Structure 1
């Protein structure tokens, strides 16, 4: 084949599979699908294959090709229906329409296979609304969601509550540096999430008995790595009918605003803008304190309230936080570098709200306030407000904002792709 277009046009992708093992019993509970380009070509490795497709604007299509080929291979093997199949995702795949020639096998897979879609923090931060919708679509199909490479980047911990993964995949480097302070922080945050949610912890890169022993101490119940098997042709006959559980899905973000969500469960206090400002600034400052890099989401009602001083603060915060978003009438999709923006319509309830929400691995806080419509001096404008540190409530309010943060062009969300 002469170039990457030939590879994509010919759908010349093959799939290898690596087993996922229940650590306590040694039983095979599933496989991860891993795609490869034509053997002996410059595009054989997945990194080279996706880089070439990305360079010509066909990365999303390649993701569909990889997924369809994986499903075709799995379905042909007629595997036990208790097996779980892990597929990886590229961010662009969520908003790329499935090519018509691949649609039949994808539809068949949705009805017959038990799939876990793997997401990364890069995908979520790039298109939070799209990824939340895509995760909901996966769950609507009875599929699960995994957060991949947790620990490779500390930002993934801050985004874990929004993904609400059924499976948390620990990055392989954690097994090799068990005494590192960063490893201890990651393991503690993952353990807290798994205990509260019932999620499965999966350790990647297990190559030796020592790695396996470390994985156990980190709370992993599923293992993946060369100790159990290298990627190769599919052999579902080794499975032992062990079913990997999925956890209850999070509440689907509705159109209620953060104020409406929090006010339904917390008492309100009436005060002025002047008295609310210190609390608002304090929550913003939480993002810059410590090493956990929380998410910051804020509503400004109108663009004029996103002042130059505020813009400077948010631009600085965005260099540390995995996701900073500002919403208000007239705000651009990127009001300052690194900050995700969203303009509010005239009828949007957020036009009347002032919200500041912070969510990190170990902290969560939300200030939600409703403008009472005063016309006097700016500092004397009155608001009804509530302040909460209830993690579940804060995350619910945050998800309602993330559902409004989307690219300017928002085609239909498709189920996510494998590689």
Structure 2
């Protein structure tokens, strides 16, 4: 942001948040089958008559401000005051925009219908450890978490797999160009996730038959019209209709991936050669599973990352939206192009584990191993190979709690691919 833009942005924030120019609009989220309202979409913006004050403009201003958490809390408070006078909003859940720092300022959710806080899926994996902590805290206080801009880039589909949101709002590009590779991958990923977890898929700015047909084709079951057009009368479906089928994800674990896997599956025993063959096979599946695929691996010690492994993971980074390699002594390896690298503390249980996690649009896999003590030169491991979504996503969150920030040069090359 240029200095001139910063000054104008600060002046606009002053008008919106201190001089009372912030407006609130609400629109029903309507079920395409029944025509009933299952929720209310609540948006904050400035005056409709002035440029630079639309919903997206206010989102950008808040996110780029010096204190986005406080501004987010202020906007949320005003939105909830506005909807308190709306009979429809009192009868069904509310869906509000949020920024990640704002989740640190939440009070426990009160009685009544649920409230879904929508985070920007394009930014959710920039600071994984902080994100998982704040999302977990919000859920523990009774709030639901959703993602918007799903399908805007491949990383947003990885965000869906990690966060496991209650509700997803499709990016407009998915409806505008539904035959692009990214749009079709988005349709695959959101369909698979909704079928497994009971989440809800939403399309916004749907005001005519053509837009409604595009929403149906993309798999959306709920739609909302534009905030600047008069809403039509709808009948509320009841407080439980929106999220009645949603299965909340398991909380962020403190255990290692092997501990998580061994609680659900009886470990097997194998030598290094067998596990290396399984690892290479999982990596190969990741190269063809879709550009939104994530690969998260733990290598025990950085000495296990030979030149061939570094080259393999750099190649994966060119094909996937996020590739992670963690190990003790990882800082000595140096930067690996398009790969997030994290150094493990010697006391971290992951130092004893060899882990490979693949999260793809319609599939997932986990190889979790722990080296047996005293196995000598013929290294022996207990291992679990699993493919169930809940466990794999749980293990992925466990590994990502070790990652504080994803640097620009570490981003997967496929992240910016737009199909």
- Normalising to structure 2: TM-score of the pair? 0.79
Give me the whole-angstrom Cα distance separating, in 2, the residues matched to 1:82 and 1:236. Answer: 17
The secondary structure found in structure 2 opposite 1:264 is helix
- Going from structure 1 to structure 2, the CA distance change for 1:197 and 1:330 (only over 3 Å counts) comes to same
RMSD of aligned residue pairs (Cα, Å): 3.5
> Which residue number corresponds to residue 200 of structure 1?
200
Give me the whole-angstrom Cα distance separating, in 1, the residues matched to 2:225 and 2:343. Answer: 46
Q: 1:125·1:323 contact (CA, 8 Å) conserved in 2?
A: no
The answer to whether the aligner puts 1:240 opposite 2:232 as a matched pair is no
> Which residue number corresponds to residue 231 of structure 1?
228
> Which residue number corresponds to residue 286 of structure 2?
287
Give me the whole-angstrom Cα distance separating, in 2, the residues matched to 1:55 and 1:368. Answer: 39
Give me the whole-angstrom Cα distance separating, in 2, the residues matched to 1:11 and 1:283. Answer: 56
Deviations 1:269-303 (A, max 9, x none): 43333443232233233332243431111112233
Give me the whole-angstrom Cα distance separating, in 1, the residues matched to 2:323 and 2:19. Answer: 38
> Which residue number corresponds to residue 388 of structure 2?
390
- Going from structure 1 to structure 2, the CA distance change for 1:232 and 1:293 (only over 3 Å counts) comes to closer
Report which stretch shifted further, 13-22 or 175-184: 175-184
Give me the whole-angstrom Cα distance separating, in 2, the residues matched to 1:356 and 1:61. Answer: 39
The answer to whether the aligner puts 1:296 opposite 2:300 as a matched pair is no
* Aligned-residue offset at 1:47: 4.1
- Going from structure 1 to structure 2, the CA distance change for 1:57 and 1:154 (only over 3 Å counts) comes to same
* Aligned-residue offset at 1:75: 2.9
Gaps of 5+ in 2: 1-7, 407-419
- Normalising to structure 1: TM-score of the pair? 0.79
Give me the whole-angstrom Cα distance separating, in 2, the residues matched to 1:372 and 1:225. Answer: 58
> Which residue number corresponds to residue 3 of structure 1?
11
Give me the whole-angstrom Cα distance separating, in 2, the residues matched to 1:310 and 1:168. Answer: 36
The secondary structure found in structure 1 opposite 2:347 is coil
Q: 2:132·2:401 contact (CA, 8 Å) conserved in 1?
A: yes
- Going from structure 1 to structure 2, the CA distance change for 1:11 and 1:257 (only over 3 Å counts) comes to farther
Name which structure has the greater RCO, CA cutoff 8 Å, separation 6+.
1
> Which residue number corresponds to residue 173 of structure 1?
173
Superposition pairs of residues 330-409 of structure 1, within 5 angstroms = 330-331=329-330, 335-374=335-374, 376-377=376-377, 380-407=378-405
* Aligned-residue offset at 1:320: 3.3
- Going from structure 1 to structure 2, the CA distance change for 1:365 and 1:107 (only over 3 Å counts) comes to closer
- Going from structure 1 to structure 2, the CA distance change for 1:308 and 1:40 (only over 3 Å counts) comes to farther
Deviations 1:128-183 (A, max 9, x none): 23333333333333332223233332333333232222223233333344555654
> Which residue number corresponds to residue 25 of structure 1?
34
Give me the whole-angstrom Cα distance separating, in 2, the residues matched to 1:254 and 1:189. Answer: 24
Give me the whole-angstrom Cα distance separating, in 2, the residues matched to 1:245 and 1:65. Answer: 26
Deviations 1:187-230 (A, max 9, x none): 3332232222222222223221133234334443211124xxx3
